[in-house]
Structure 1
Amino acid sequence: MSKASSDAGDDEPETVQINLRLSEAFLADIDATWKEEGFNSRSEFLRYATRDAVKHPAFSREGWKQIAASEHDLRSGEAELVSRDEVRAMMGQGDDTE
């Protein structure tokens, strides 16, 4: 069930509270991530991640899985960091700069 927030200002969009079920292990990963990345709260991080997923739907679920696997490999020492240019080449974006 959702509940609209009554404390939103006139200029702010109305917010809705939702319930979300996650495993404890996944929630622990989320909590560690939002703190490491400098977000102010778990909610702020989840809104950002959700907004990013909605705004960039061409970035597939498979792409997110590959990022998660790569992150795991980096943290476990099984992989090395690559440069921005190497990532752009892997994604077929060439070497043009923005």
Structure 2
Amino acid sequence: MCSVEIANDGRIEVRGELSFATVPGVRADALRLFSKVRSVHIDLAGVTGADSAGLALLIEWMRESRRLQHNAHFSHVPDALRVIAELSDVDDLLPA
């Protein structure tokens, strides 16, 4: 299970597992929230697990935020996503 919601300070908080099983549902939910914020700050502190589908989702969110002329910013990126990004040679897309 995974959920996304807008926090009081405008961050988009992701909670739960970002996996092949959960990404399709959370993808649409997050994209709806993008239109409600000025800056896309996605807080991943609540992510409990992730696989390559989770990484693909982050890349899609970055693309969508650019389309909306927002800057995407990720915080608290889980180590699992960093490892997958490094193995996929896209680690430069994630914040240090």
TM-score, normalised via structure 2 length: 0.26
More strand by share: 2
TM-score, normalised via structure 1 length: 0.25
More helix by share: 1
Higher relative contact order (CA 8 A, sep 6+): 2
